[in-house]
Structure formats: C-alpha cells, structure tokens
Chain A
C-alpha cells in the first residue's frame, strides 16, 4: 500500500501538534471571572422571614406587565420572595387556579363567567379586592378627527359621517373596529339599538387596533374603534372618546337590548385560596397592592415606549414613589399573620 491511502502517522502528527498548541492556548488564555463567583450572589433577603414562591400569571398586555413588574420587584427585593412569572392568557390563568399552578392574577377585567366557575363553583379562587385602576371601555376616534369635526364625539352625529367611515370590510356601512375577542363587547347590539349605520368588523387583536389608529392619524382617515384605558398607547396618542348614552345601573342586564355606554370597570385582583390561606407576605402584599391609572400608564410608557426592561422600569417607579410602596409594605407586614400563635 502506498502512503497516500490510510497512513495515519503523517496527518496524525500534524493534528497532535495543533492540539497541543490549542490546549496550551486554552490554558494560557483562560482566567477571568468564574461562574458562580462572588459577583453573582443570590437575591438579598428582605426583612421578615419566610416568603416562599409566588406563581404570578402575566396576561399579554403592557398594563399588566407594568403591574407584574412593580409587584415582583417589591416582592423580590423588599420581601425576599421568589416570583415565578408565567406568560398566559386570562382563560389559562384562571384554569391555573384549579390545577394549582397559578397563585395570583394582578389585573382582572370583569370575566364574570370565569369568576362564577372558579370562585363560586369550584371555590379555588378568591377576589382580592380592587387594584385602584379604573377600566374605561368605549368607542374612540383619532385626535385629528376630534379636532376637525368636534361634533363627532356625540353619538347622535355618527350617522351624519357614516359614509366617511366606510371601508372594504364594512359592507357599505361605516366601520366600527373591534379588537381582541377576550374583551366582551356589546358593540353589535349597540349599533343595532342606537340605529347606527355602522357595521362591526372583527379586527381580532389589540395589535390590529393600535396599528389602525396609527395609520388613521398619519393618513387623516376617519376611524372609529373599540378601545380602553389604561393603555400604554395613550402615551403616544391621546385618543378621544365618543359619548354614547350614559350608563345607568342595569341598562346592560340584557345583552341584546343594550343601548348605553360601557360602565367603568373596577379592575380587581384574584388569588388562589391556597395562596391566601398560606399567610405568605406575598399574599398580603398582593392584597395591599393599589395604584392609579396614571401610575400604571407611567410604568407602561417606560416598558413599551422607552423600551426599558421590566426590572429597570419597576425600579425607576419604586424609587420615585417610596411613600406608596411603604404603604403597601406596611399593609403587608401588618397582615402577614404568623401561622402558629
């Protein structure tokens, strides 16, 4: 056999020399901080003792992310808890109460059907009170339209402009765009009962709504859509609300006959019974957690517009509002009862 086929010696020696060089280089070039060294410490333990793990559901909107950011920051840094964030939609979050995988929902918009199922029927969840945020749902128009035609903000004048709101999707009538199907709307009934020459088009997602508002403002188009506060988008564009007939208690009892505006929602927190009964300081903090629409919009702006990380945004707000945070902590340590007395 000639040397060209299968003589391992020659290539082998070259490779071995290269290997030795590589090893030498590696051993020479290594150094520097080791993994698990002093700098990467664990989280500094907070004041009072045992605070376990909190399974926090994070629903996919920026306002909730703001709530979750501030709550986790305070719970982890001031109370020494471990917060496990789970990105889930509302229905799966509530389902998590019954499977024991979700302890806390920080912002709930109504959802009477889920409340009935999990709070009343299965008794695995409990209402933790209001967050202090007021959810305001309604019909909104882009700011240029409110300036150009101020009378459009009253519902009686909508029919006058119905033709201008027409699109390829609205079948000859004006378009009222709805968004994410998670939000219960009375829009179809409203349009019918108020005799409006409009047709509801399902946009399908909040993204569709926001982008449509941006396009309408940029291209000066007539645009009417279902929207809500608190929402980070108001930091970018001050949408104007169209006034429907004022809300009176009971006017939305029959979904088919609704002819009045949406009521303001008192957003509330929901927690699992297991979590509340555990007496953990995190549960007490959740109960005490309370802030205004402005607070949430501020942190939402940090996250969505200024593109800060959740922790940075939370830190910035917490550092600027020490009295509010101290009020929560006072409420938390006061009501964090010891398990045995």
Chain B
C-alpha cells in the first residue's frame, strides 16, 4: 500500500515569503543600477494626448447640451423627477415653502415624527436617542442645515434602495450578473467624486438632482453588494427544501429568500446610509445646501470651531440613523421568529396609537406656532445656543494642540518621511517603469496566484495608458505606508478591544465618530501639526481607515473560540504568548480582511490628501476639477486611482483565499 506523503503547509509557506524577498532584492539592485531612467514623470501642469482628447470630449459635450436629444429627453426627465423629490422633502422639513417663511414641519414636528418612527421600527432606547439627537441639532443652531442634509440623504437613499435592492437581488440570484456588476460597483465606489462633479452638473444642472446623484453613486454599491451577499448566504439546504416542495421561482424569492435575507439587507441599508452621509461635504461643492456648506465655508476662514460644530452634527445624524436601522434589523429578525423584544411588548399597540396621537399634535403645533417651528434661541433667560460653546471648545482644543504638540509632531513627520516614506517612494518612482511592472507582477503572482497577477498586469497597463505613471507610483507609495501604519495601530487597539468588553464599549463610539466626522474638519489642525506635506495626507488617511480595521480585527479576536483560549491558558501560556501565538494566528482571516478594507479606505482619502500637500494623483484630481484645461488629466487620475484600488483589492483578496486553504486541510 503506497503511503501518500503530503508536505505540511508550514514547510511550503516559507517559499512564498522567500520568493517575495528575492523579488525585492532584485528590485533594489535594479533601482541602484537604473535609477532615474524611464521614470515617465509629468509636470503638474502638463497634459498628454489622452488628457487632451478627454478635454475635447468634455468641450463637445458642453457645446451640444442644448441640442442633443439625449440631454433633452433622457437626462432632463431624470433630473426633473429627482428635483421634485428633493424639493418636496425640503419644502416639508427645511426650506420655506408655499409662501410661508418656514417649512411645513418645524423642529417639533420633525423631532416627533422621527422619534415615533424610531420607536415603532426600532425600540424605546433608540427612540430616546433620536429625540435627543434631533434636539441637539436645534441646540447647535444648525437646525435648517441639518434638515437640508437629512432631506438630501433620504432622497439619495430612497433612490439608491429603489434601484439597488432589486439589482442586488438579481446579482445574488445570478452569478453571471454578479461577475459583470462587480467591476462597475468597484468603479462607482473607488472613483473620486471630484472627477465626476463637473460633468454631473453639465448633465443634470446645478441643484438637488446633481447632489442626489453624486451621493447615489457612492451609496448604491454597498446596498447592491450586501443585498447580493444576503441572498447568496441563504442556506442552500433551505432553498432546496422549498424547491422540493414544489415552489416556483417567484414563490422561492418572495417567501423564502427575501424574508431570510431581511436582516442582512437592512445591514445593507445601514451601510448605504453611512456612505450617503459621507458625501455631504462633497455635494456642497456643487451648491448642495446643508451641513457640508457650513464646513466648507468655515474652512475658507480656517474656523475650526465652526467646522467642528457642523461636523459634530453630521456625526450625531450618522449615529442616530445607524442605531435606528440596526435596531430595525434586530426587530425584523426577532419578528421573523415571532419573539417579543422586551417589557414594552404588552402595551405596544396602545403605545403606538398613543404615540401617533402625540406626534400628530406636535405636527399641528409646529405647523402653526412659531416657537414650535423655528428652534428657539433662548428659553426665557437661559440661552439655548450650544453651538457657540461647542465651536469655542473645538477652537481651544485645536489651538492647544497646535501650540503644545507642534514641535513633537513636526519632528515625528520628518523622521517618518525620511526613514520610511522617502525610501519606499524613491524605490517606486525612480526605478524604470518596466522594472516596477515586472516586480509588481512577480509579487502579485507569488502572493495571490496567476489570476491576481493577470489583474495586476491589466491595471498597470491602464495606468501606463493614462500617462500618470510617476504620480501613480507616488500615490502607491503613500498608500502602502498609510496601510502599514493603519494595520499596526489596528492590531494593537483591535486586540485590546477584542479581549476587553469594557474597552470595546468606550472605544467604539470614538471609532464611529472618527469614521463619520468629515475629514475637512480636522484638516486645519493637521496642517498646523504636520505642515503641508505627504505625511499630513497619510495621517488623514490613517484616521479614516483605522476604525474599520480596528472593528474587523476586534471582531476576529472575539471570534476565536473561547475553548481554544482556555486550552492555551491551561497549557501555561502567558498573555503575550496567548495573543501572538493563539489569538492573532487564528484571527488571520480577519487580519487580511482588515488589510484589504484598510487599503481601500486609505485610497478613498487620496483626493483629500491632495488638498493638504500630498501632491500626486490626489492633486491631479483636484486640479482637474479646478481648471478646465486639466479636466482630462483629472479624469485620467481618477481612473488611475480606481486601477490602483482594483489591483490592491484583488491581490489582497487572493492572498486571503490562499491563506485560508491550508487551514481547511487540517
């Protein structure tokens, strides 16, 4: 009988690491030998023929706007529908309408309705949170702006879900559709909004429609992806059971798949909402009213306090919407199992009716009386203006940080730049392009397999075609450094959060805040601490990417089975050994997923980095938005960013799948 000899995975794995190391060594040699040749640099104000052709296309589009039938009958119709939706919502809650100096529903009415809806679809705790959040908008003196933002976000969400959920269901049912749709979704999520802002205003004019569509483009992909994932995750055995009982495809969809996927679909709605809120400041650049406008105006006079006040309102709105939709998804799941949710169940129906009546009264009051419509600035002699207090607090924290930390942070920036960032960037930008392409393909093949290498090759070819090779390599260097920093911080904090529930409770709201606070708010303090430099861009990117990475790693650590941990402790390992030899290795998949998501989130900050001195592709995109003759270059830079994103995403995902397989063989 022949014995099968399988070489254990542990022995085979060093081959990959050694391979990557060898590629790096050869690359370094090549850099030393051929430094400075064939680097394909392009000056900041120069363009290539690709950019010029794109400019010509944009010009011809602009000239034909009033005659092209496509504009007159297709885009105009879409614009009219969306405009009506947005202006309708605004007339309801935020803008003066119907000859009145105030919207139909004042602060009392809107707060009452929101609380009621939160209570009915969520639970009592979330209803209280909603009431507190909405009242806070008024106290901050930002009621109208918050309602404008809410109107815009809800309109975008409505359209995103109307189109996204059916598409997601379709993608979930048909693998072919899924394969076609995924690159489109990648483009929609990774293409910087700055690139399509100006063309969008050309197609859909300046107004609510353009703002909604800008938000829509970023908010729809999560809804589609997560819905598809939800449909696909319904256990195959359940589906098989229903088909064997004789149900048709429609019955299968409506009676089995959708109900069982309901909780995850609500998670998709939640993520779409977060994505929509993150576009608030970008939409303000094409005139969308709301909190984004306040942030941008504050930035012109470097008013950190005012920007912070508006940013805080956005954070509060995000938290309220997030908790409400999460509670709604939990209620949906429990309702599916015919279970109650708590002590208030018995009196739920009378409470709903009672709450409805109180809400109607509040709506009537806010329609008629000034005190209930326009948030009062003072209650008797007690000033209700929390906004200026918050603004002053923000200003003092920022000034304190600038005066006391500037020396330390400046030195830190210089050290990291010269010892980490500059070497990586020089290696990528000063090597000849053919050497870099060969090296990246080799590393892709070693880490992710030949399919990942093929994707990398295609992406690099497109980058070469855009004519922005040197800038792309500079951005790649900054992305890599930022990702490494993100993961380093995420591992430390994530392990801590995963192991301690108390730490989790304290840190999680801070992470939510960091993720939803518009980055424009902390640009000024960062500029003061780190000067206008690439490092400032990296820090801004790290702040944005760290929360998701921390959450994923904490989730992974918590997912390590307690019995394993107990066994290891019983075998005598101390805390350090427990973390490094048991929990982290077993959470390896989460680590790779955290790297993947961290990288994507870092890439999405490339343009903001360009506003604070990072240069490279981010600056090219900003320049394209600002100058008409650089529009083509800006568009090409956006495409290059998407290509980098796809290349990094596919490679890390393929690496993740490969690290999973050996575990399966045990």
Interface residues of A in 32-46 (CB under 8 A from B): 32-37, 40
Partner of A211, one of B524, B610, B628: B524
In the complex, which of the residues B368, B413, B611, B631 contacts A35, with contact meaning CB atoms closer than 8 Å? B368
**Minimum distance in angstroms from B379 CB to a CB of chain A:** 13
Contact present for A32 and B369 (CB under 8 Å): yes
- Please give the distance in Å from B614's CB to the nearest CB on chain A: 7
Q: Is the CB of B417 within 8 A of A204?
A: no
Looking at B5-13, B357-365, B646-654, the stretch in contact with chain A turns out to be B357-365
Q: With A23-B361, A99-B65 in contact, is A11–B370 under 8 Å at CB?
A: no
Residues of B within 8 A of A266 (CB): none
Q: How far is the CA of A304 from the CA of B417 in the complex (A)?
A: 34
B551 interface contact, C-beta 8 A: no
Partner of B357, one of A19, A121, A202, A215: A19
- Measured as residues with beta carbon below 8 angstroms from the partner, the interface class of chain A is 35 or more
B287 touches A113 (CB 8 A): no
- Supposing A207-B523, A207-B527, A219-B406 touch, asked if A92 and B301 sit within 8 A by C-beta, the answer is no
Residues of B within 8 A of A202 (CB): 44, 610, 613, 615, 619
Beta-carbon contact of B346 and A5 below 8 Å: yes
What 1/0 flags go to A166-195 for Cβ under 8 Å of B?
011100000001001110110010000000
Provide the bound-state CA to CA distance between A209 and B361, in Å.
53
Nearest to A9 among chain B residues (CB) is B350
Interface of B is mostly: helix
How near does chain B come to A307, taking the closest CB pair, in angstroms?
7
B625 touches A91 (CB 8 A): yes
Q: How far is the CA of A207 from the CA of B81 in the complex (A)?
A: 37
Which of A99, A201, A212, A303 interacts with B615 by CB under 8 Å? A201
Contact of B619 among A96, A168, A181, A182 (CB under 8 A): A181
Q: Which residues of A contact B611 (CB under 8 A)?
A: 204-205, 207-208
In the complex, chain B residues whose CB is within 8 Å of the CB of A232: 301
Q: Which residues in A have their C-beta under 8 angstroms from that of B43?
A: 188
Cα-based distance from A250 to B614 in the complex (angstroms): 34
Stretch from B198-206, B437-445, B481-489 at the A interface: B198-206
Q: Which residues of B contact A19 (CB under 8 A)?
A: 354, 357-358
B301, A30: Cβ atoms under 8 Å? no
Please indicate the chain A residues that have their CB under 8 angstroms from the CB of B45 in the complex.
184-185, 188
Are B533 and A167 in touch, CB under 8 angstroms?
yes
Chain A residues positioned under 8 Å from B197 (CB to CB): 92
Determine whether the beta carbon of B286 is less than 8 Å from that of A36.
no
For the complex formed, measure the closest distance between the CB of A213 and the CB atoms of chain B, giving whole angstroms. Answer: 11
Q: For the complex, what is the distance from the CA of A31 to the CA of B365, rounded to whole Å?
A: 9
Q: Interface stretch among A69-77, A82-90, A138-146?
A: A82-90
Name, among B303, B361, B531, the residue most crowded by chain A CB atoms within 10 Å (CB to CB).
B531
A168–B533 CB distance below 8 A: yes
A36–B626 CB distance below 8 A: no
Q: Report A336 CB to chain B, min CB distance, Å.
A: 27
Q: Which of A40, A168, A180, A303 contacts B101 (CB 8 A)?
A: A40
A33 contacts B369, C-beta separation under 8 Å: yes
Q: Are B615 and A101 in contact, CB atoms less than 8 angstroms apart? A: no
- Give the chain A neighbours of B349 by CB distance below 8 A: 8
| Minimum Cβ distance to chain A for residue B370 (Å) | 4
A11 touches B206 (CB 8 A): no
Is the beta-carbon distance between B625 and A22 smaller than 8 angstroms? no
B206 touches A92 (CB 8 A): yes
Q: Do B346 and A204 have beta carbons less than 8 Å apart?
A: no
CA distance A19 to B359 in the complex (A): 11
Residues of B within 8 A of A23 (CB): 357, 361
Instruction: Pick the contact of B361: A18, A26, A211, A215 (CB < 8 A).
Output: A26
Nearest CB in chain A to that of B202: its residue = A95
* Interface set, chain A 1-37, CB cutoff 8 A to B: 4-6, 8, 11-12, 15-16, 18-19, 22-23, 26, 30-37
Q: Which residues of B contact A60 (CB under 8 A)?
A: 296-297, 300
Does B527 contact A211, Cβ atoms closer than 8 Å? yes
> Could you tell me if B368 and A22 are in contact, using CB atoms closer than 8 angstroms?
no
Is residue B187 contacting chain A, with contact meaning CB distance below 8 A? no
Nearest CB on A from B60, distance (A): 11
Does chain A have a CB within 8 A of B329?
Answer: no
Map CB proximity to A onto B599-619 as digits: 1 under 8 Å, 0 otherwise.
000000000001111110011
Give a binary string over B343-386; 1 marks a CB under 8 Å from any A CB, 0 the rest. 00011011101100110010001011111111000000000000
Least CB distance, A146 to chain B, in whole angstroms: 21
Within the complex, the shortest CB–CB distance from B76 to chain A, in Å, comes to 11
Q: Which residue of B lies closest to A170 (CB)?
A: B533
The yes or no answer to A61 lying at the interface (CB within 8 A) is yes
Quote the shortest CB–CB distance from B429 to chain A (angstroms): 11
Give the distance to chain A from B66, nearest Cβ to Cβ, in Å: 8
| Interface flag for B293 (CB, 8 Å) | yes
Closest chain B residue to A90, Cβ basis: B626
Q: Does B632 contact A (CB under 8 A)?
A: no
Q: B346, A210: Cβ atoms under 8 Å?
A: no
CB-contact partner of A89 in B285, B351, B373, B619, under 8 A = B285
With A92-B197, A201-B615, A204-B618 as known contacts, state yes or no: A215 contacts B301, CB within 8 Å: no
| Residues in chain B near residue A208, CB distance under 8 A | 527, 532, 611-613
- Output the least CB separation between B200 and chain A (Å): 10
Interface hits, B391-416 → A, CB 8 Å: 402, 406, 413-414
Q: Determine whether the beta carbon of A35 is less than 8 Å from that of B367.
A: yes
Which residue of chain B lies nearest to A61 when distances are taken between CB atoms in the complex? B300
Q: B528's contact among A87, A188, A201, A211, by CB below 8 Å, is which?
A: A211
Q: A8-B350, A26-B365, A168-B418 are in contact. Are A184 and B206 (CB under 8 A)?
A: no
Among B300, B302, B629: residue with most chain A CB under 10 A: B300
A122 CA to B367 CA in the complex, in Å? Answer: 48
A62: B residues at CB distance < 8 A: 300-301
Taken together as a complex, chains A and B put the C-alpha atoms of A58 and B629 apart, in Å, by 21
Tell me the bound Cα distance from A122 to B102 in angstroms: 40
CA distance A33 to B535 in the complex (A): 55
Other contacts beyond A12-B350, A202-B619: 11, CB < 8 A: A33-B369, A34-B369, A35-B374, A88-B286, A91-B627, A98-B63, A101-B206, A122-B63, A169-B417, A211-B302, A215-B402
Supply 17 A–B pairs (Cβ within 8 Å), ascending by A: A5-B346, A15-B354, A35-B374, A40-B101, A40-B102, A88-B286, A89-B285, A92-B286, A169-B417, A169-B533, A182-B626, A203-B612, A207-B299, A208-B613, A210-B302, A211-B532, A215-B402
* A contacts, CB < 8 Å to B: 4-6, 8, 11-12, 15-16, 18-19, 22-23, 26, 30-37, 40, 60-62, 65, 86-92, 94-96, 98-99, 101-102, 113-114, 117, 121-122, 167-169, 177, 180-182, 184-185, 188, 200-212, 214-215, 219, 232, 303-305, 307
List the 5 shortest-distance A-B pairs measured between CB atoms, nearest first: A181-B623, A304-B301, A11-B347, A182-B626, A33-B370
